[in-house]
Amino acid sequence: MLHEHTMNMSFLRNIRNLDIGERMLNSAALVSIIGIFLPWISGQWLGGESIRYSGLHFYTSSIGWSVFVLNTFIFSITAVPLIKNGAWRLQKKDLIRLLCALQSSILLLAALSILTKFTFEFSRLDVRFGIYVALFGSLFVTFESFCKWKEQPAWTIPLPKEPVQDGKKIDNPRKYDVSALPPPPPPPVEEHRIHSFSQHL
């Protein structure tokens, strides 16, 4: 019980340490996931049957599942290191999140066009708010991921390696032993010419 309480406190502390951009990005990913389970289309189908489908059903079910996997993966990129206390981190996570969010937004726009086509052919069908919620969350994730990707420096300058001698690290390689240096040479003696009084006569 004590160990679980410590892990929970550490997880909450790690969440508080996230910057506002990371919080908004992951919140938008959760909003997009929630939107998948909300109604995407409803109304009367052929024969007067009333239908109401979420993003995981109807003819757009494959798109809904793909968007669910993509946004869950985006959220796990931040959530897993928080749970593991930074033991696992994904390289180039901002670029990966941007690509996943962009693909999710394109798929949702394609699903919206499919549902809109159904509403044109069957006037008793209506596009519901669920797909708009998912699309808004996905577009926001795309925007935040792009901003974070642009914040990364174009290149990184490698730091010089610390010198090692006889298996031991040298603290200050530029520190010399002053006592071992030879003494400086004496200053040159200036020659003063002696002018006799007879030379001026």
This prediction has a pTM of 0.67
How confident is the model at residue 100, as a pLDDT? 95
Q: What is the pLDDT of residues 152-182, one digit of tens each?
A: 654 444 445 555 555 555 555 555 455 556 6
Whether 103 has a pLDDT exceeding 90, the answer reads yes
CA-to-CA distance for 93 and 84, rounded, in angstroms? Answer: 17
CA-to-CA distance for 37 and 15, rounded, in angstroms? Answer: 25
How confident is the model at residue 114, as a pLDDT? 93
Q: Which fold has domain 2-151?
A: Butyryl-CoA Dehydrogenase, subunit A; domain 3 (1.20.140)
- Mean pLDDT of the region 89-115: 90
Strand pairing of 168-169 and 39-44?
unpaired
Which residues, other chains included, contact 200 with Cβ-Cβ below 8 Å and sequence gap of 6+? none
Domain boundaries, the chain: 2-151
Residue 139: how many other CB atoms lie within 10 Å = 18
Which residues, other chains included, contact 107 with Cβ-Cβ below 8 Å and sequence gap of 6+? 63, 66, 67, 70
Whether 72 has a pLDDT exceeding 80, the answer reads yes
How confident is the model at residue 165, as a pLDDT? 53
CA-to-CA distance for 157 and 173, rounded, in angstroms? Answer: 21
